[in-house]
Amino acid sequence: MVDIRPFLKQKLHVTVWFKGTCKYCGYTNVKKVYDYGVMTFEEFDRKLDETGHKVEPIACKKCGSESMPERIVYREEMKDIIVSDEAINYGHEIVGEEVQEAHQKRYEIFDEQKEEFWEKYTDYAVTHWRDMINELVDFEFQEAYQKLGIETNARTVAQYRKDALNRFKTVEEKQRFWREANDYFIHQHLLDVGPLGWALDKDVKYYGQKRMRFIVLHFPLGEALEELRTEWIGQLIKKEKGDNDFLFRRIAMLTDELNRTRQKVTKYVHQVEELKAEQAKLQDKLSEAYEQLRKERENKNIVTRDPADVEKIRELKSFVSELIGELKEKDKLVRELQPAQEEVSVPELEEAQVDAEQKILDTLVGKTVAIIGGRRQEQAQKEYPCTVLAHSGEVLNPDFYYTLKQADIIIVLTQFVSHLAMWEAKAYALQNDVPIYFLKGLNIPRLLAEVAEQIERS
């Protein structure tokens, strides 16, 4: 086999990119998220172990909408080649603090258990001596012979293997040789890379099936990483004979099921993105339809309306109703597919008085004002010249529509209300000639004063 150590000293320049297709317009976007700079492969390997890349939406360069990336790409800039282009698996959990801490303390954990580990590892090697010798590579033989002060005419891997089988006869000789031969494998490879960076498939091909099997089962790990060990067992030890046969097969089955679940989660993430894009398109159509309706209403001072205009307005209103219906269905699907999130508390409206409150008296007296986007505290409610109703807008329930029907004036708090509730309120206001105002803030007197001022100006 080829000695990989000289390769570790080579210089390279790696950058990290997210890649994805915009769910709104279909444009393919790429975004550079990290630059490792110029360093040796060995330095890059350590830096890779310490660096994470948070998966965030990519803003489309064509239409401006945001979509979650689908792939992560590693590029080597000095040779202008793609090192890795992998699909992002949204089913993998984000590495928590406990796991990261256990990973960082891997040297300390190994040092505490190293004598017990080496004893088991050398005993295992002695028991399977010929198979284990066959898994050693050329530089491992060379280093072990050099450290043990052994001179040999062996030059090839086959010659070294034959010499080792003939030379080391006692248990003590085999154990000492095995420990020296695996010094690089254990310390410079497994420990320096760390468990979160191990690539089992590649390590099995280079260092051997039996060695990696022992490592997966017995390498000292922090408690937070034991779940990862279980997953490795499911990946590596598919078939086993003996008392542990059923256990290993069951772990393999559970690992396969876990991978299928992760694939489903990834699929659901992209479905949610597609549904959000469809929602955005529907909202754009709604906006266009409302703009047309607004222009039509600006012409309502015409005494005699053309029948064609009347029919056009009727068609637009019908179109708006259909779009709202579609928007509700998409919103429902998005809520069902999205993972459960912590419940967001509804903001409470403030009843504190403001200096401008006197302006309300003349303009809003006797009116009913509906505020969508907050709730009033029963014990803190105050009297106003007008009747004030409030609804959070979280759910479009019968209370929501009752509040709209009672209103002479509607106020929508844009900071605290969903798009669906906003469009529903706007549709009701347009269809029933109810004034509607889109405001920010939570103070009721100030909101009423702002509406009164706008009414006076108009």
Measured CA to CA in angstroms, residue 139 lies from 5, 143, 207, 250, 348 at distances of 9, 6, 12, 38, 71
pLDDT at 304: 52
Query: Where is 175: in which H helix or E strand?
Result: helix 171-181
* Residues 28, 29, 30, 33, CA torsion sign: negative
Burial class for 275, CB neighbours closer than 10 Å (0-12, 13-18, 19+): buried
Q: Is the pTM of this model over 0.85?
A: no
- The tokens for 66 are 């945001």
pLDDT at 96: 59
d(CA 100, CA 97): 5
Question: Distance of alpha carbon 442 from its chain centroid, rounded?
Answer: 33
Where are the chain's structural domains?
6-88, 98-237, 268-337, 355-457
Q: What's at 100, amino acid-wise?
A: Q
Residue with tokens 């172990």: 49
pLDDT digits (tens, 9 = 90+) for 178-200: 999 999 999 988 998 888 878 88
Question: ∠ at Cα 445 (441, 448), nearest 5°?
Answer: 80
Name the stretches of the chain with pLDDT < 50.
1-2, 93-95, 239-243, 246-248, 251, 302-303, 340-342
Q: Helix H segments across 299-432?
A: 307-337, 358-364, 398-406, 419-431
pLDDT at 421: 85
Residue 112 makes CB contacts below 8 A (sequence gap 6+) with 220
pLDDT at 429: 87
pLDDT at 284: 73
- The tokens for 171 are 């248990």
Q: How many other C-beta atoms can be found within 10 angstroms of the C-beta atom of residue 19?
A: 17
Cβ(28)–Cβ(12) below 8 Å: no
- The tokens for 111 are 């040092």
| Helix 226-236 with 245-298: angle, nearest 10 deg | 110
Q: How many other C-beta atoms can be found within 10 angstroms of the C-beta atom of residue 146?
A: 11
End-to-end CA distance of the chain: 85
Question: Distance of alpha carbon 110 from its chain centroid, rounded?
Answer: 32
pLDDT at 345: 67
Cβ(419)–Cβ(413) below 8 Å: no
Residue 316: HSE in the Cβ half-sphere, 13 Å Cα cutoff? 22
Residue 100 makes CB contacts below 8 A (sequence gap 6+) with none
pLDDT at 94: 43
pLDDT at 166: 94
* Residues 313, 318, 320, 321, CA torsion sign: positive
Query: Where is 368: in which H helix or E strand?
Result: strand 368-372
Four-point Cα dihedral 32, 37, 41, 42, nearest 10: -120
Q: Does domain 355-457 have CATH number 3.40.50?
A: yes
| Helix 209-218 with 226-236: angle, nearest 10 deg | 150
